[in-house]
Structure 1
Amino acid sequence: MKYIYCLFFFTGFLSSLHAQTALTQTVRGRVADKESKYPLADVTVQILNATADGSGTITDSLGRYRLTNVPVGRRTVKISRIGYKEALLNNIIVDAGRETILDVDLEEAITELASVTVKAQRTGDARNEMAIVSARQFTVDEADRYAGSRGEPARMASNFAGVQGADDSRNDIVIRGNSPGGVVWRVEGISIPNPNHFAISGTTGGPVSIISNKMLANSDFFTGAFPAEFSNGIAGVFDLRLRNGNNEKHQRTLQFGFLGTEAALEGPLSKKTGSSYFVTYRYANLWLFNKAGIDIGTQAIPTYQDASFRFNFPLKNNAKLSLWGFGGTSTIDLLISKQEVSDRNIFGQNDRDQYYTSRMGVVGLTFEKPLNRKTFLRATLAESGNVQDTYHNYLFFQYGANNLPVVENNRYKITDQAKVLDYRFAETKTSLAVSANHKFSPRSTLKAGLNSDLYAVNFVDSARNVIISPNMPVELAPWQTRWDSRQSALLVQPYVQWRVNLADRLTLSAGLTSLYFSLNKNSFSPAEPRVGLAWDLPNRQKLSFAAGLHSQIQPTYIYFYGDDLHNSAKRGERINRDLGLTKSWHYVTSYDWLLGRNLRLKVEAYYQKLFDVPVEEQSSSFSILNTGASFSRVFPGKLVNKGTGRNYGAELTLEKFFSDGYYFLVTGSLFDAKYKGSDGVLRNTDFNGKYAYNLLFAKEFTFGRTSLNVGAKFTAIGGRWYGIVDEAKSKAAQDIIYQSAGRNTLQFPDYRRFDLKVDYKINRTRLTHTIAVDLVNVLGIQNILTLSYAPQPDGTFIKREYQLSFLPVFYYRVDF
């Protein structure tokens, strides 16, 4: 509780600095047609719950609007125009320290005069007009507001129905029982490498995101049956958009907290042309956890830093050009030789020192132009890259009685160490995404485009096994080269998507895409149909259905693995070079009911059929569907596309949007996720928790210029599956080895977590202070993560590793 006392002492001190004069700020932005992106004039923009004079404003010929003297606080914005569906945006935050800029797209109505007003966009509605089901828009405020989210989109998304986190120490997400590796990250229309610090090949998550949430505009998140423009993913999609800097006023943000010291600067490059800049930088402060005695799962202190930028240049005829980028570097040394026996180490192995560095970066150029009132062109060219560099030193422990390690001063006694692993995986990608929207009429819109990625990989990996024999000294086997590849390959995905209103209340979205990966002849999916149908029912209800075929290439490092590439009998043999695509059929039906102005109920049911899944050629329980949620790569034998899987379930969401000073979100899902390996046995996937539910609530208290937000979250998820430990093989390998036949027949206890978030905001003239603490797992509940190999003095070696315990994440931010 000392963290809460410090928080309120600090906030009380700051609140004493201000007077009680009412503060206001400017709300401005631009309104455009949703399909053609052409600016809309004569649009009415109103702040429903607070304006200085009770009136709104209208947009000019360039679609621009400005509302001055808007009182600070949370506001609701209504945007309407004759011939267009009304947009109602809840929970818009107006702070004294920065202008609120809202750019909104309106959807044209089928008929100008309708007996029932249909809201085209509300809080949570997807930006993508082709999405029918399993899609949701999320805001930066949600990532900041949800307890336990730590300001990250991935952790925020784990609150949605059908989505769960895989590990407290990582932000991987499991969507409907699928591997986290099936999630696609896109920025400005192009796919990007894993955007996290301490990334591992074949994964899409990590401990900390590289992308600053301060740089994000409202973005979309998909959990299934996504439109044809999204490819190379079988689970879900993060479709991120970057915001422009303020083009009229210089603004700054400084933030200090446990996760890092951050700075963000934005403002006009030229007020005459409307060009702007936006830059951020962050440096890790994780040493604070160590100093405060807070458990983060290891005594090692991770270090990282990241930066991002965006420069926006308006051009003639409503065109614009944006230069953007972000990247980061991270390092951690897991030194078992320096730890005490009682120290926790959930990130590494207990028999070696591990040195690890990762780097990731993207730079892109985006061009956008409405060609006329009906057609919009968008193109992004980007270069991205990621590198993982590591080496391991095996530790030779001194053994005593009963062949157990000797312990002196609470440390293992080590006689020597030797390098047993050295690898560097580097991958670069040149990406081009081009798309065009054409609106034939208010009823019909066509979107077509091409996404392409040119991969260039440089994988080098050498390792040697440790030979452990009874009553014999430990020996090291000769070095083996498992990866040695410098290759390139082209991934191409053309698509077309058509949305048409068949009647006033019936909408069809139909699309077709294809996927070609030039690495081998088996990686070609000639036609992947996508279709969705939405029927607006009376009393603000909607019934929807969507289906589609989806495919995905394998993690690139899988293609180039060899048992020993320098062995004369296997020289140059990369055993998985000819692997094909993993494929999946998605079927989703959805019922949506707007119970009131700010209350929505949504129910979805789904079935997913997975096929052509890589499994081992020899009979085993291995499947690629169980990978992608750890800090380790996988080393299977020869793989073939003969595995299958199936996921089905039902999800419920009850959400009250922020109004009357509070909001809540209740989500629940019941599901079953199974797979078959090459042994033909139907098993639980590693992620088949059977159920998951979340309950979030937050209340805001306002006191003149200040506001206090108190939020809470409770999560319950079925436990992870594991197998029967093969004791003989585990002792020989000094690692936990499971019996293949008994894989995923045992289940850890159910996962429980309660989070609490408190933030206090103080608005002063042209200045906003925010002080917040996110108390993750505030009750300190012990949830099992996995089993590890750790010989103990009593002769046992199987150790239960637990998820993170209580983790307070504090920050102080000032906007001015």
Structure 2
Amino acid sequence: MLKHYTLLLFCLLTAYSFAQPSQNVRGRVMDSETFSPITGAKVIVNTRDTTKVYGAVTDDNGSFFIPDVPIGKHQLSVTIFGYDDKTLTIDVNSGKETVLEIPITESYVSQSEEVIVTARKSGEVINELALISARQFSVEETDRYPGSRSDPARMASNFAGVQGADDSRNDIIVRGNSPLGVVWRVEGIDIPNPSHFAISGSTGGPVSILNNKILGNSDFFMSAFPAEYGNSTAAVFDLKLRNGNNQNHEFTGQFGFLGTELLAEGPMSKSGNSSYLVMGRYSTLSLFKSMGIQIGTDAVPTYGDGAFKFNWRLKNGANLSLFGIGGKSKIEILISEQTEYTTELYGEGDRDQYFGTAMAVSGLNYKQSISEKTYLSTTLAYSYEEQKSKHNYLLRHLDTLDKGTENETYRIVVDSIFQMMGYKYQHHKVSHHLAITHKFNTRHLIKAGLNTDLYYVVQRDSALPLVTDSIFEKRWDYEGAYILIQPFVQWKWRATEKMDVTAGLHAQYFSLSNSFSGIEPRLGWRWRIKNNQSVFAGAGMHSQTQPLYTYTYHRYDTNGDKIYHNKHMDFSKSIHTGIGYDIAIGKSWNIKTEAYYQHLYSLPVSIQPSYYSLINMGAGFQRFFPDSLKNTGTGTNYGLELTLQKFFDKSFFVLVTASLYDSKYKGSDGIIRNTSYNGNYVFNVLSGKEFKLGVKQSISLGLKATYAGGQRYGYVDVAETEKYHELIFLSDGFNTRRFRNYFRLDVKINWKYNAKKTTHEIGLDLVNVLNTKNLLSLAYAPNLSDPTVEPIAEKRQLGFLPLFYYKIDFRFSKK
């Protein structure tokens, strides 16, 4: 009997394995400016099977459904009279339906009402008001980049003009600007730093809370962005959360070194008018420790995160969604447990550190096409972020073992431990976004709205000054509420068939410092000349608040009253200008070059003459303690960028980016210096190839090489460093020295197998495959064996880091 069952099971598995897999392709076609549904659009999937037509026509809701499309990579085209043709590459897998949101642009109509139809090229941004310094963030495209770890920030660091700060963090430096200038946005609202282990005020961290499995295609802006975006002088990452499948239940499971993930999505009603998407992840980095693989710390970080989106399609073209993103993390770096002497300890080498963070955002978004010409979007959200830390100082000495012999070694002995510092920051925020878009005709469109953020913060911090051995000193003891208001209006004019112009106004007011930006103009221009070529230019004024905790750092006067030195800091301000040229070659190749100049002013610098400026802050794990700042600092960034890209439309992709730039600033001492992020050049080469192994299997290989200028630094003030037990640089020669140039080679290998309703994928991401010893920074590290040696140690970037994962996608029909 057992033999019969075994034979039957073998036959079933054999039939299942050799079945021809296919999948449904469906979605919605809409106007790219008003988001109203497009009825009657013809959607065709071009496959190798020329005997059968895979196509559909959109219904009254703009929806289409194409069943049983063969798995693989295909070209999908959308055509309808009065709109530009659109073509995009889709990757059809058996484990998940291919569900698309396709915006198309209304064709230019001349005075004689003749419709001119042109094809839209790959990679164009979603926001139609962005004409310069913008990149589309394609999840399917960027997920193939080696070394990116499915992290949106690390993926974006491959764009021209963008680079990462270091291997262990995902801070992104845009055109020489501090990472402090980057704003993360979801559904129209600015969200807290979406990273685990995020230092207060920063915009990056070691591990992203965001997961690309919940994202749709998004936009990344680097300069002179449209008027709807504010409170940034560097870049805006405008993220889109995708909806769950509203027809079938689908599941994704993934196991890897960076986390164990589960995702579920599907319909919430039989009508298909609602959907859910829920996912969660928990860290599995403890595997590294058990296998003896170094991950850049002497402690194992613990973290977990999740996200959800519930979506309801309402009557009269309205849509309501409830979304949320959040994560929590902690790490304990216990130097006291390290008895073996080494000069390369992670963290500060004289203390135990306990650090934890949390971040959450949840909101309701309502969208409605009020008419074919008018579209409304509004979001109400609540967000929370928390950072807390405790440092315990160690008094230690060295014991010599087997003294006087060939086996002489050293052992660290801890004499006593006492707390030297502790802090906890909690930031609550209620945000509201309102935007109304109205298209007067095919040539004129206007978008206006208001962004409002109401903050409530609690900031506590105290430290024991080791210099004086006095009692604990409170550095932050603040609790209060304030508001940030940002109105905007933007106009788009299609001046001719080939020329677009955008103009906008933005303003912002911040009640804590009573700062008003004034009216900030934004301008963009693009001229599409013959043979798929374009020239473009733009300019804009931008303002940004400082990290919240920098306003409330205080001292006490002789009467015991708090003195807030920086509560009235003004905005940092910037003027962006740029000009560029691009050309589309064939269906998938594109060349783009852009030159830019940015003038920064009203930067916070120290009142006492020195090199200090907030322009150099924002990357790494250290807070900064600004005392008595004024907004008189300036800076300049200028450079030239080149991008050569072949989009992944068939079996391979290529991305080559080059950035040449210079980044300077002036502190309160009037000396012009290099900023800490002035690497002068960055070169990236990425390429990938997919090899088909029959109908169901494929192997993908990817390669990435990065070469960049070394990080800037200065000369250490040894006396002050020893006095305060932290690294302090001299003003003379600050940022005149630099580490050797940075180089890293990454390799990515993926195997994919499509069964009938299941897709299996195994990936191996080999980060820094050559184990290049790049330098990261200098750290305070007293030498216990020889106190006369400078208390400085070199921190190195991550070495060779192999990351693997196994992912499975499968679905159940609602039937």
Normalized against structure 1, the TM-score is what? 0.94
Partner residue of 2:10? none
Rounded to whole Å, the distance in 2 between the matches of 1:408 and 1:637 is 47
Cα gap change, 1:466 to 1:659, in 2 (>3 Å): same
Q: CA deviation at 1:318?
A: 1.3
Q: For residues 584-638 of structure 1, give each alpha carbon's deviation from its aligned partner in whole angstroms, at most 9, with x where no partner exists.
A: 0000111010122110000000000000000000001011110110111101220
Equivalence for 1:25: 23
2:55 pairs with 1:47 = no
Alignment match, 2:250: 251
Give the AA of the match of 1:374.
K
- Residue 533 of structure 2 aligns with which residue? 541
Q: What per-residue deviation string (whole Å, max 9, x for no partner) do you get for residues 222-267 of structure 1? A: 1111000000000001000111110110000000000000000000
- Corresponding residue for residue 102 of structure 1: 100
Matched, 1:498 2:491: yes
Q: 1:766: which partner in 2?
A: 757
Aligned to 1:508: 501
> 1:744 Cα shift?
0.3
Distance 1:231 1:154 in 2: 19
**Offset, 1:21:** 3.3
Amino acid in structure 2 at the alignment position of 1:301: V
Moved more, 637-646 or 37-46: 37-46
* Cα distance change on mapping 1:228 and 1:59 into 2, 3 Å: same
Residue 338 of structure 1: how far off its partner (Å): 1.1
Paired AA for residue 498 in structure 2:
R
Contact 1:247/1:271 (<8 A) preserved: no
Distance 1:345 1:104, change over 3 A: farther
Match of 1:619 in 2: 609
Change (3 A) 1:516 1:773: same
1:466 is matched with which residue? 466
After superposition, give the CA deviation of every residue in 1:112-152 in whole Å (9 maximum; x if it has no partner). Answer: 997975223x4321100100011111122234210010001
2:277 is aligned to 278
* 1:814 has 2:814 as partner: no
AA matched with 1:36: T
- Asked whether the equivalents of residues 35 and 374 of structure 1 are also in contact (C-alpha less than 8 Å), the reply is no
Change in Cα spacing, 1:780 to 1:509, as seen in structure 2 (3 Å) is same
Task: Give 2:290's aligned residue.
Answer: 291
**Superposed displacement of residue 790, structure 1:** 2.2
Name the SS of the counterpart of 2:213 in structure 1.
helix
CA distance in 2, matches of 1:619, 1:730: 20
Query: Does the CA-based 8 Å contact 1:50-1:70 persist in structure 2?
Result: no
Report the 3-state secondary structure (helix = DSSP H, G, I; strand = E; otherwise coil) of the residue aligned with 1:731. Answer: helix
- What is the CA distance between 1:22 and its match in structure 2? 2.4
Equivalent residue letter for 2:258: L
Give 2:417's aligned amino acid: Q
User: Residues of 2 paired with 1:701 and 1:68: CA distance?
Assistant: 26
Amino acid at match of 1:325: G
Q: Deviations over 1:188-223 (max 9, x none)?
A: 100000011001111000011112211111111111
Secondary structure of the 2:143 match is helix
The structure-2 alpha-carbon separation of the partners of 1:683 and 1:606, relative to structure 1 and needing over 3 Å to count, comes to same
SS at match of 1:123: coil
Indicate how the Cα distance of structure 1 residues 116 and 658 shifts in structure 2: closer, same or farther if over 3 A, else same. Answer: farther
Deviations 1:660-684 (A, max 9, x none): 4111000001000000110111000
CA distance in 2: counterparts of 1:414 and 1:557, whole angstroms: 34
Q: Which amino acid aligns with 2:469?
A: L
C-alpha displacement of 1:102: 0.5
Report how far residue 389 of structure 1 moved.
Answer: 1.1
Q: Structure 2 CA distance, aligned partners of 1:337 and 1:410?
A: 15
1:437-452, aligned counterparts within 5 Å?
A: 437-452=437-452
SS in 2 for 1:573: strand
2:455 equivalent in structure 1:
455
Partner of 1:527: 519
Q: Is the 8 A contact 1:396 1:415 kept in 2?
A: yes
* Equivalent pair of 2:247/2:272 in contact (CA under 8 Å): no
Give the match for residue 386 of structure 2. 387
Q: Is the 8 A contact 2:17 2:756 kept in 1?
A: no
- In the alignment, residue 712 of structure 1 is paired with which amino acid? L
Worse-superposed segment, 696-705 or 785-794: 785-794
Q: Is the 8 A contact 1:649 1:672 kept in 2?
A: yes
Q: Does 1:605 align with 2:604?
A: no
Q: 1:784 aligns with which of 772, 775, 781?
A: 775
Distance 2:684 2:410 in 1: 41
Which residue, out of 681, 684, 691, partners 2:671?
681
Once residues 386 and 397 of structure 1 are traced to their aligned partners in structure 2, the CA distance between those partners, rounded to angstroms, is: 36
Match of 1:412?
A: 412
Kept in 2, the 8 Å contact 1:621–1:740? The answer is yes
> Equivalent residue for 2:268?
269
The question of whether the paired residues in 1 share the 8 Å contact of 2:658 and 2:681 is answered with yes
Q: Which residue of 2 aligns with 1:472?
A: none
Which residue among 30, 33, 36 is the counterpart of 1:35? 33
Equivalents in 1 of 2:563, 2:59: separation in Å?
65
Residues in 1 aligned to 2:39 and 2:345: alpha-carbon distance in whole angstroms:
57
Report 1:169-208 matches (<5 A): 169-208=168-207
Structure 2 partner of 1:486: 479
RMSD (CA atoms): 1.8
**Partners of 1:347 and 1:158 in 2: how far apart?**
25
Matching residue of 2:73: 74
Alpha carbons 1:299, 1:343 under 8 Å: kept? no
SS of 1:426's equivalent in the other structure is strand
Contact 2:398 2:410 in 1 (8 A): no
Deviation for aligned residue 1:344: 8.0
Q: Contact 1:78–1:88 at 8 Å: present in 2 too?
A: yes
Shift of 1:800: 1.1
Mapped contact 1:172–1:204 kept (Cα < 8 A): yes
CA-CA distance at 1:464 after TM superposition = 1.1
Aligned pairs for 1:86-125 within 5 A: 86-90=85-89, 92-111=90-109, 117-120=117-120, 122-125=121-124
Query: Is the contact between residue 395 and residue 414 of structure 1 (CA under 8 Å) also seen in structure 2?
Result: yes
| SS at structure 1 position matched to 2:155 | helix
Q: Is the 8 A contact 2:298 2:345 kept in 1?
A: no
The equivalent of 2:228 in structure 1 is 229
Q: 1:744 to 1:102 in 2, by over 3 A?
A: same
Q: 1:601 to 1:302 in 2, by over 3 A?
A: same
- AA aligned to 2:792 is I
TM-superposed CA distance for 1:88, in Å, is 1.4
What residue number does 1:5 align with? none
Determine the C-alpha separation between the residues in 2 that align with 1:36 and 1:144. Answer: 29
Is the 1:299–1:344 Cα contact (8 Å) retained in structure 2? no
Counterpart Cα distance in 2 of 1:318 and 1:340: 67
Alpha carbons 2:362, 2:382 under 8 Å: kept:
yes
2:571 maps to which of 574, 578, 581? 581
Give TM-score scaled by structure 2 length: 0.94
Give the SS at the match of 2:300. Answer: coil
Q: What displacement does 1:710 show?
A: 0.2
In structure 2, C-alpha distance between the alignment counterparts of 1:409 and 1:764, rounded to whole Å: 59
Describe the SS at the equivalent of 1:659.
coil
Partner of 2:426: 426
Q: Which moved more, 1:275-284 or 1:785-794?
A: 785-794
Query: Cα gap change, 1:192/1:742 in structure 2, threshold over 3 Å: closer, same or farther?
Result: same
1:28-51 CA distances to partner (integer Å, 9 max, x unpaired)?
A: 000111112111111011112446
Which residue of structure 1 aligns with residue 329 of structure 2? 330
1:298 and 1:344 in contact (8 A); partners too: no
Give the stretch that moved more between structures: 772-781 or 345-354. 345-354
Once the two structures are superposed, residues 175-200 of structure 1 have per-residue CA deviations (whole angstroms, 9 ceiling, x without a partner) of 00000010000001000000110011
Question: Taking structure 1 as reference, are residues 313 and 571 closer, same or farther at Cα in structure 2, changes over 3 Å only?
Answer: same
Distance 1:55 1:396 in 2: 74
Over 3 Å counting, the alpha-carbon distance change for 1:411 and 1:134 in structure 2 is farther
Is the 8 Å Cα contact of residues 339 and 411 (structure 1) preserved in structure 2? no
Aligned partners of 1:297 and 1:346 also within 8 Å? no
Sort the Cα spacing of 1:503 and 1:429 in 2 relative to 1 into closer, same or farther, 3 A: same
CA–CA distance in structure 2, aligned partners of residues 297 and 513 of structure 1? 43
Structure 1 gaps, min length 5: 1-14, 402-406, 468-474
Distance in 2 between residues matched to 1:408 and 1:246, nearest whole Å: 66
Q: C-alpha separation between the residues in 2 aligned to 1:342 and 1:284?
A: 30
